[in-house]
Amino acid sequence: MHVESQIPAESLPATMTAAATRRYGGPEVIALETMPVPRPAPGEVLVRIHASAVTTGDWRLRGAAYPKGLRLVGRLATGLFRPRHVVPGVTFSGTVVATGDGAVQFAIGEPVFGALNRGGHAEYIAVPETAAMAAKPLSLTHAQAAALPFGAATADHFLRHLGQVQPGERVLITGASGAVGHAGIQIARALGAHVTALTSPGNADFVRGLGADEVIDYTRQDVTEEGARFDAVFDTIGHLDFGRARGLLRRGGRYLTIEGAWREVRQMLVPWRRHGHEVRFGVSEPDAAQLSRLAELAETGKLSPVIERSFPLAQIARAHEAVETRRRRGVIALDMRPSEEPPTPAAAGYSDHGTAGHAALMQGATATITRRPRGSIVEARGDKVLPVSAQLREWRARGKRHQVTEMSNENAVQRNCA
């Protein structure tokens, strides 16, 4: 299908506010700059970002703080002398406000979330519709959805794909209250595992509330004294190396770490055949299929990211400082909406034929999308005909009527799909 950009270029804002990192260093190197709003190229959608997450990955990219042994490799990958991508941020959640020529997977007004290797810490982002992007779970806020592509996707990759955790297996998770760890508890439980969380005493009730079956206080107990009773050890913060973790693993057990370097590469190549132990680590690169699966877990109540604190974009340096402590409950989020932005009345709509309606949509106005009885298109308020999204096709295939109002602070998007 040949589809022209759904919003005329002249109705989009000319500029946006974005975080910029033009040199490596501490949080003080991050500055806010005014930049042109990107226009969606063919096959792309333009997303008005409502929220993003500040992750351990963002901290490492900003400060070139790569694990020992990988510093040169990291610099070669992301910029030898300065960051290759000026605008940081790898996750986003927001609303589609324009589509490029030929983009048919997502409709204007549709809430989406996803990941890209740059650009998430800005008010707008142009994203290929084939990238790691999916319809936002209606049960989550934008901040929670923005947390999925890093913390939850990493935990899912290590536990489900690399660790191949099976129902009934016993899993130990270190750093259990962090962005990856707290998602790991929920995902391991969804996989049917028995979960033991290693955390501080102040976070014991928190991790129990997420579903941990047992809690070990690392300030009072040496976890290595637990003996060989785990099928998998998921080390999210580098608390245990393989030498210490081996004593915790049953025969055939797996040591999973997101802090791997050359030592772990060598250990992966060594056949630990006496007990069948394995070292497994890698890079989590989410795709649309994985994000859709995580969205389904969220919709069924099995996965709910916890936002410890949300900072406005103007305070992004403080958000980085919070992440660098590596002591937090859940995720540090960024709110991308201008603080002076007023709430939009729920009855506001938008039109493709002028700037007033588009401005309302930029501020989170209500857009109503209705399925025509027998067509392959949807109709939005204003006289605009929109391409059907993948999620709308799914609803139609199920033969269900779905009506839900999604609230994100003062912003609302209402869908009515028959």
Give 49-68 pLDDT, tens digit per residue. Answer: 999 999 887 877 786 666 66
CA separation for the pair 318, 307 (Å, rounded): 15
Query: What pLDDT does residue 354 have?
Result: 31
Tokens 């033009």: give the residue.
Answer: 22
Q: Nearest-CA neighbor of 102 among 1, 227, 171, 26?
A: 1
Q: Which CATH superfamily is domain 151-280 in?
A: NAD(P)-binding Rossmann-like Domain (3.40.50.720)
For residues 302-310, give the mean pLDDT: 95
Cβ(55)–Cβ(114) below 8 Å: no
Q: Nearest-CA neighbor of 30 among 252, 324, 337, 350?
A: 324
Rounded percentage of the chain residues whose pLDDT exceeds 70: 70
Confidence (pTM) = 0.76
Per-residue CA distances from 260 to 55, 195, 405, 407 (Å): 17, 22, 43, 39
Would the CATH topology of 9-136+306-417 be identical to that of 151-280?
no
Cβ(216)–Cβ(239) below 8 Å: no
Question: Model confidence at 247, in pLDDT bands (50, 70, 90)?
Answer: confident
Report the 10 Å Cβ neighbour count for 222.
9
Query: What pLDDT does residue 396 have?
Result: 36
Most confident of 12-16, 33-37, 80-84, 413-417: 33-37
For residues 278-283, give the mean pLDDT: 80
Q: What is the CA radius of gyration of the chain?
A: 22
CA separation for the pair 376, 369 (Å, rounded): 13
Query: What pLDDT does residue 330 have?
Result: 92
Per-residue CA distances from 207 to 116, 182, 192, 301 (Å): 29, 7, 17, 16
What single DSSP character describes residue 162?
Answer: I
Amino acid at 94: G
Beta pairing class for 249-257 and 230-235: parallel
Amino acid at 318: R
Tokens 């409709």: give the residue.
Answer: 107
Buried b (16+ CB within 10 A) or exposed e, 72-83: eebbeebbeeeb
Query: What pLDDT does residue 9 have?
Result: 54
Report the 10 Å Cβ neighbour count for 349.
15
Round the average pLDDT of the chain to a whole number and report it: 77
- For the chain, what are the domain ranges? 9-136+306-417, 151-280
- How is domain 9-136+306-417 classified at the CATH fold level? Quinone Oxidoreductase; Chain A, domain 1 (3.90.180)
Residue 339 buriedness (CB in 10 A; 0-12 / 13-18 / 19+):
exposed
Amino acid at 109: G
Q: Nearest-CA neighbor of 360 among 108, 5, 60?
A: 108
Angle of helix 56-63 versus helix 316-324 axis, rounded to 10: 100
Q: What is the pLDDT of residues 396-417, one digit of tens each?
A: 344 333 333 333 333 333 233 3
Q: What is the pLDDT of residues 151-177, one digit of tens each?
A: 999 999 999 999 999 999 999 999 999
